[in-house]
Structure 1
Amino acid sequence: MAPPSSDTHRLVSTYLQALTTRDIPALMTCFADRVDWGVPGARDLASWLGPRQQRAEIQQFFELLFAHTAPVDAQLEHLLVAGPVAIVTGTFASTLRQTGRLFTSPFFLLLTVAQGKIVRYRLLEDTHALVVALT
């Protein structure tokens, strides 16, 4: 049975708050043991990118992301929820520690929830701008 939209909205709000504060333990409580995870991009330049499945791999994503970026700004534009699915859109800006350059991008996040945990995660961002900022 699919979770009610209110449960999905609550979990996604918890996830976004933990992301804002970079609270890895709180972030990890949002995810199932196995997640269909996809964040495409040039993994050879940005080690946090790529597919993942296990909780340890997802934790590593956040550890690498937070180690290599410093947040500058984030704006949430839309949070749409229909049953177990949430779509989040907005923009963000981060300084890339490796180069000191600013990376600004729109983002699109698709989440699917089952049994109170995120089981599918897709993040799309301007990967070309990321490559430019990293080189």
Structure 2
Amino acid sequence: MVQTDNIAIAQELLGRLGSGVGPAAIVELFAKDMTWDIPGDTSAFPWIGRHSGRQAVISFLAETTEKIERIRFDIDEILASDTRAVILGRLASRVRRTGKVIETAFAIILTISEGRITRFQMLEDSFAVSQAAYAGENCG
């Protein structure tokens, strides 16, 4: 039964993210001391890296709206265990500053305890993200 609950939590998160509800409705799905982790070039975007607390989610929502234009966000599958839900899909986003498009497969790994998300980890093509963030600049 826990696996089914974890899939429902993942679906609820995706539904709220896609519905345009405010940050308060989204962060209530997360534990107060949650961990946010998107490995990659931390200088590319402020939400990349490891952050703690619900403020990380609020910052992500505000910063992505400001810096990224979502083109496509497709979910292929949601898998679950007793402690996690894994969301697999593909996305395309345009970096507003550079005009470059990021196209990547992704996996979002949600660790869930007592009905709340305690860890959000997103794995994506971090090289493509960095390249799009610095398009036309010497990024080394």
Please name the residue that 1:74 is paired with: 73
* Deviations, residues 51-86 of structure 1 (Å, cap 9, x unaligned): 111111221122112211111011111100122211
Name the amino acid aligned to 1:125. E
Residue 49 of structure 2 aligns to a residue whose secondary structure is: coil
CA distance in structure 1 between the partners assigned to 2:36 and 2:46 by the alignment: 15
Task: Say whether the 8 Å CA contact 1:112–1:119 is kept in structure 2.
Answer: yes
What pairs up with 1:1-135 in 2 under 5 angstroms?
4-23=2-21, 24-135=23-134
CA distance in structure 1 between the partners assigned to 2:98 and 2:24 by the alignment: 28
CA distance in structure 2 between the partners assigned to 1:12 and 1:37 by the alignment: 15
Post-superposition offset of 1:22: 4.6
Unaligned runs of 5+ in 1: none
Number of aligned residue pairs: give it: 133
Post-superposition offset of 1:101: 1.4
Post-superposition offset of 1:26: 2.4
Compared CA separation, residues 69 and 30, structure 1 to 2 (3 A): same
Post-superposition offset of 1:32: 0.5
CA distance in structure 2 between the partners assigned to 1:21 and 1:100 by the alignment: 25
CA distance in structure 2 between the partners assigned to 1:38 and 1:14 by the alignment: 20
Question: RMSD in angstroms over aligned alpha carbons?
Answer: 1.5
TM-score, with length taken from structure 1: 0.90
Name the amino acid aligned to 2:80. V
TM-score, with length taken from structure 2: 0.87
CA distance in structure 1 between the partners assigned to 2:19 and 2:129 by the alignment: 22
Task: Say whether the 8 Å CA contact 1:48–1:62 is kept in structure 2.
Answer: no
Identity %: 24
Task: Say whether the 8 Å CA contact 2:44–2:129 is kept in structure 1.
Answer: no
